[in-house]
Amino acid sequence: MADPNIDPVGRPAAEPASVVRIRGVDKRFDAGGQRVTTALSGIDLEIWRGEFVSLIGPSGCGKSTLLRLIGDLTAPTEGSVEVNGKPAHAARLGREYGMVFQAPVLFDWRTVEDNVRLPLELLGLDRSERDRRIAAMLELVELSDFARHHPYQLSGGMQQRVAIARALALQPAILLMDEPFGALDEMTRERMNSEVLRIWQQTGTTIVFVTHSIPEAVFLSTRVVVMSARPGRITRVVDVPLGNPRNDLTREDPRYFQLVTEVREALRAGGGFDTDAPMASADRLNAEGGIG
Amino acid sequence: MPRSPERGSLARIGIFVGFFVFLLLVWEGLKFIGGDPWRTDTWTWEPPLEIWFASDLLLPHVWDIFGALANPVQRGADESLAQFLLGAALYTWREAAIGFVVGAIIGIALAAVFVHSRLLERAFVPYVIASQTIPIVALAPMIVFAFGQDVISVVIIATYLTFFPVTIAMIRGLRSPDPRALELMRSYAASRWSVLWKLRMPASLPYLFTALKISATASIVGAIVGEGPGGIPDGLGRAIINFNSQYISGPEKLWAAIVACAILGIAFFSLIRVAEIVALRGRGMRTEAA
């Protein structure tokens, strides 16, 4: 079912290429007056083409800020962020990102297909190419039958799939997802996790994924980047050598449990949790919420 | 069980008509207990009380007002009052509509500038507000003096009353998009122009229509008020001035003209409301009420 037209990278994938290279990044915010908040400190991270990397950590660890730095939605105070071998700013102007937020952020005056059309209009593609890509994207997220619907007629999960289709319509080198399923119920979330894995495998897009959920991070990722707060920093990177494709059986694999435990312990070692209220389970972490 | 939409709109029409009938009953009731004597060929009713404003001069009988509509506008004229008022209303509406469109465009343009420049917004919004504190009756003669006794003066006055609500609402509306929607556009490296046309403008439509409904009625008031000093003989403004001077001999004519103004205002408002329903359909928001 792999459609060569929706290969997002479209260049040889033979040699491992660096898609994101972060060197010595600090990010500080003026908190008003003399106060300065250090959101991120000493971040070094390299992400390779075709990887699925999750950023996980407690609220305030700067994982969303890190994602926004990669997407050039905010600039680092120190250090450099390169995407596809050029500064993040140049990569954004080159439209090499797809962005998915926690809320779908669909334009309610546009139908599903017109929402997916939006980035293609901005790119100035001709009509036939636009229509072809829209059809391919909606097929990818299995919403072809809903092309003419308006966002309010769709469920939360379907709306988020439209947002994914919209983000992938530009065939970006990298897809940035900021807690995309945080607002969904647990059942929908698991289904969306399988969806996003299928899309990842089908398109080969590099994905950076911010989450609060340990099981979600382990299930989806090839690597889990564990962060801690005050100041936000990377405390550990956990490789996830679970095979692909992953499915419901993966969630019952002992190695999966082992990795979930490993990530949880890494989080705890980073001082991510209040020690007087130890986390009993990953579900507890799911329930935490927050903006990270 | 939720009420069906049909039942809801039936109830609304019922209440509207019911209240209208109620107003007529209060009107005639006051005249019945405190107005001038009611006379027919065979029968006379002497109201027991005397209420000063219930006289036939100040509060003509409802049937006299509607009856006057069928009578000639002047003694010996072919045209009925109703035909005359319809023509006058359409004439006034044309002036108001031109002013409305021009005023809306100015209002949208000003808001678009202000939204992109805090500096200009802070510097100029006070002037926009000050402009609306000047009474139109003071301003109208000056506009006529500047632009002559011409329709253009009336259009300018209608424009003047229209642009303000649109400016204020659009400043809000153009700022209404979700910050993440703006970030989304930023992630696509969209130009300011694209952000304005593809995000800010469509997002502001609900705000725009709220303002346009205010402006629709304001533009008609502006046109009617402007027709006097503007020396325009064909509209409702002049009709009101004329009927005002003939009030002693025929008060019902002025009342009929007032009714015509009200109907014109409601009609223009309803037109904008219909445009709103069409423009905002599909958004899944309730565009209920005014």
For chain B of 290 residues, list the mean pLDDT of each consecutive stretch of 10. Answer: 68 92 93 87 86 87 88 84 93 95 96 93 90 86 89 92 93 94 91 94 95 95 90 90 88 91 94 94 62
Token pair listed for B231: 């020396």
Token match 């490993």: residue? A262
Token pair listed for A253: 């694999």
Region A171-189: mean pLDDT is 88
* Amino acid letter for position A284: R
User: Residues near B44 by Cβ (< 8 Å), separated by ≥ 6?
Assistant: B37, B38
User: Assign residue A210 a region: left if phi > 0, alpha if psi is -120 to 50, beta otherwise?
Assistant: beta
**Cα distances (Å, whole numbers) of residue B254 to B26, B247, B260:** 20, 7, 10
Q: How far apart are CA A56 and CA A182, in angstroms?
A: 13
Q: How far apart are CA B203 and CA A199, in angstroms?
A: 31
| CB pair distance less than 8 Å for A94 and B189 | yes
| CB pair distance less than 8 Å for A109 and B283 | yes
Residues β-bridged to residue A37: A29
Q: How far apart are CA B122 and CA B133, in angstroms?
A: 18
* Listed residue (B69, B109, B50) closest to B263, CA to CA: B69
Residue A237: other Cβ atoms inside 10 A: 12
Give the model's pLDDT for residue B4: 63
Average pLDDT over chain A, rounded to whole?
83
* Listed residue (A140, A132, A70, A133) closest to A98, CA to CA: A70
User: Residues near B33 by Cβ (< 8 Å), separated by ≥ 6?
Assistant: B47, B48, B49, B51, B54
> Which of A:122-151 have CB within 8 Å of B?
122-123, 150-151
Return the higher-pLDDT residue of B1 and A93.
A93
Instruction: Output the pTM of the full model.
Output: 0.81
CA atoms in the 13 A half-sphere facing the CB of A166: 33
User: Residues near A291 by Cβ (< 8 Å), separated by ≥ 6?
Assistant: A59, A64
Residue of B nearest to A118 (CA): B198
Instruction: Please confirm whether the linkage preceding B141 is cis (ω < 30° from 0).
Output: no
Q: How far apart are CA B184 and CA B83, in angstroms?
A: 56
Residues in A closer than 8 angstroms to B285, CB to CB, are 108, 152
User: Does residue B282 sit at the A interface (CB-CB below 8 Å)?
Assistant: yes
Residues in A closer than 8 angstroms to B283, CB to CB, are 108-109, 150, 152
| CB pair distance less than 8 Å for B184 and A122 | no
Q: A98-129: per-residue pLDDT in tens?
A: 899 989 999 999 999 999 999 999 988 888 98
Give the model's pLDDT for residue B2: 55
User: Does residue A118 sit at the B interface (CB-CB below 8 Å)?
Assistant: yes
Q: A205-214: per-residue pLDDT in tens?
A: 999 999 988 9
Give the model's pLDDT for residue A9: 46
| CB pair distance less than 8 Å for A107 and B183 | no
Token pair listed for B146: 């500047």
DSSP string computed for chain B: -PPPHHHHHHHHHHHHHHHHHHHHHHHHHHHHHHSSPEE-SS-EE--SS--GGGSTTTS--HHHHHHHHHSBSSTT-SSBHHHHHHHHHHHHHHHHHHHHHHHHHHHHHHHHHHHH-HHHHHHHHHHHHHHHHS-HHHHHHHHHHHH-SSHHHHHHHHHHHHHHHHHHHHHHHHT-S-HHHHHHHHHTT--HHHHIIIIIHHHHHHHHHHHHHHHHHHHHHHHHHHHHHHT-SSSHHHHHHHHHHTTTT-HHHHHHHHHHHHHHHHHHHHHHHHHHHHHHTTS-S-----
Residues β-bridged to residue A211: A56
Q: What is the ipTM of this complex?
A: 0.80
* Listed residue (A111, A96, A116) closest to A164, CA to CA: A116
Residue A199: other Cβ atoms inside 10 A: 22
Q: How far apart are CA B287 and CA B268, in angstroms?
A: 18
| CB pair distance less than 8 Å for A109 and B180 | no
Region A266-280: mean pLDDT is 59
- CB of B121 within 8 A of CB of B63? no
Residue A251 predicted with pLDDT over 90: no
Residues in B closer than 8 angstroms to A109, CB to CB, are 202-203, 205, 280, 282-283
Token pair listed for B87: 């023509």
Sign of the C-alpha dihedral computed for residues A215, A218, A220 and A226 taken in this order: positive
Q: How far apart are CA B242 and CA B260, in angstroms?
A: 15
Return the higher-pLDDT residue of A30 and A155.
A155
The terminus-to-terminus CA distance of chain B in angstroms comes to 25
Residues in A closer than 8 angstroms to B194, CB to CB, are 122
Give the model's pLDDT for residue B22: 95
Give the model's pLDDT for residue A166: 93
Residue A86 predicted with pLDDT over 80: yes
Over its C-alpha atoms, chain B yields an Rg (Å, rounded) of: 24
- pLDDT-based confidence at A52, cuts 50/70/90? very high
DSSP string computed for B167-231: HHHHHHHHT-S-HHHHHHHHHTT--HHHHIIIIIHHHHHHHHHHHHHHHHHHHHHHHHHHHHHHT
